Amino acid sequence: MNKSVYEKNMEALKKKYPVWAYILENVKRKKRNFDVIAEQSLMGETILKVKQDGKELYLNGKYAPSAVIDRWFEKQGTIEEYAPIIILGISNGEHIRRIMESVPKTCNILIYEPSFELFRRAMQEVDLSFVFQPDIPVGLMVKGINENERAAYFFHFISYDNMTLLRYYISGNYQELFPEETEEFIGRLQKYISDIEVAWNTRVRYTDVKAVNVLANLHHLYEGYSIRELFGMLPEDIPVIIVSAGPSLNKNILELKRAVGKACIIATDTAMKPLLDNGILPDLFVIIDGLKPEILFRHKDISKVPMVTMIAVSTEPMSLHKGKKFFYASGSAFEEELTRDILIENGTGERVIPNLMSGGSVATSAYALGLNMGTRIVILVGQDLAMTENKTHADGTFQDEMDQIDVESGMYFEVESVDGGKVLTRADFDLYRKWFEDHFKEWSHVKVIDATEGGALIHNTKIMTLKKAVQKYCRKEFNVKWHIARCKKIFTEEQRKRVLDYFSGSLDKLDEVKKKAKEGKGYYERLEKLADKTVISEQGLGKVLKKIKKFNHYMETDYMARMVMDSLDGLNFTLRPLAYQKQDDQNCELMDVAKQGQVLTYGVTVAADEIKLIAEGTIVKYAKEHPLQDGKDKEE
Q: 30-55, pLDDT tens digit by residue?
A: 566 667 777 776 666 777 777 777 77
Contact 569, 499 (CB under 8 A): no
Give 448-484 pLDDT, tens digit per residue: 999 999 999 999 999 999 999 999 999 999 999 999 9
pLDDT of residue 559: 94
Alpha carbons 602 and 613: distance in angstroms, whole number: 18
Q: If we measure between CA atoms, which residue out of 287, 435, 449 comes closest to residue 381?
A: 449
- Residue 543: pLDDT over 70: yes
Percent of the chain with pLDDT over 70: 86
Q: If we measure between CA atoms, which residue out of 102, 106, 110, 111 comes closest to residue 82?
A: 106
Contact 150, 188 (CB under 8 A): yes
Regarding predicted confidence, which is higher, 141 or 513?
513
What pLDDT band is residue 64 in, cutting at 50, 70 and 90? low
Residues 6+ apart with CB under 8 A from 209: 290, 291
Regarding predicted confidence, which is higher, 508 or 346?
508
pLDDT of residue 586: 64
Taking residues 290-311, what's their average pLDDT?
85
Residues 6+ apart with CB under 8 A from 292: 269, 313, 314, 316, 317
Q: Which of 9-18, 34-43, 490-499 has the lowest mean pLDDT?
A: 34-43
Helix (H) / strand (E) containing 422: strand 422-426
Give 234-253 pLDDT, tens digit per residue: 999 999 999 998 999 999 99
**Backbone phi, then psi, for 90, in 5-degree steps?**
-80, -40
pLDDT of residue 523: 93
Give 257-284 pLDDT, tens digit per residue: 999 999 999 999 989 999 999 999 999 9
Alpha carbons within 13 A on the beta-carbon side of 128: 26
Q: If we measure between CA atoms, which residue out of 321, 268, 229, 330 comes closest to residue 563?
A: 330
Q: Where are the beta strands (DSSP E) in 222-375?
A: 225-226, 240-243, 264-268, 284-286, 307-309, 325-327
pLDDT of residue 575: 42
Taking residues 58-72, what's their average pLDDT?
72
pLDDT of residue 26: 76
Give the DSSP letter of residue 216. Answer: H
Average pLDDT of the chain, as a whole number: 83
Contact 224, 490 (CB under 8 A): yes
Contact 86, 168 (CB under 8 A): yes
What pLDDT band is residue 207 in, cutting at 50, 70 and 90? very low
pLDDT of residue 477: 96
pLDDT of residue 55: 75
Counting every residue, how long is the chain?
A: 636
Alpha carbons 619 and 214: distance in angstroms, whole number: 10
Residues 6+ apart with CB under 8 A from 402: 247, 391, 392, 393, 394, 395
Using a cut of 0.85, tell me whether the model's pTM lies above it: no
Residues 6+ apart with CB under 8 A from 537: 530
Regarding predicted confidence, which is higher, 149 or 215?
215
- Residue 397: pLDDT over 60: yes
**Backbone phi, then psi, for 563, in 5-degree steps?**
-65, -40
**Backbone phi, then psi, for 450, in 5-degree steps?**
-95, 100
pLDDT of residue 202: 43
Taking residues 606-610, what's their average pLDDT?
87
pLDDT of residue 42: 62
Alpha carbons 124 and 156: distance in angstroms, whole number: 30
Q: Which of 78-87, 204-213, 588-597 has the lowest mean pLDDT?
A: 204-213
Give 157-190 pLDDT, tens digit per residue: 887 667 778 888 888 778 888 888 888 888 888 8
pLDDT of residue 634: 39
Residues 6+ apart with CB under 8 A from 517: 555, 601, 602, 604, 605, 608
Alpha carbon separation from 468 to 98, 248, 473, 474 (Å, rounded):
58, 16, 8, 10
Regarding predicted confidence, which is higher, 602 or 622?
622
pLDDT of residue 631: 41
Chain-centre distance for alpha carbon 320: 28
List the Cα angle 177/178/179 in 5-degree steps. Answer: 105
Alpha carbons 54 and 318: distance in angstroms, whole number: 69
Give 546-603 pLDDT, tens digit per residue: 999 999 899 989 999 998 887 776 444 444 444 444 445 567 778 878 888 888 888 8
Alpha carbons 306 and 286: distance in angstroms, whole number: 9
Contact 33, 53 (CB under 8 A): yes
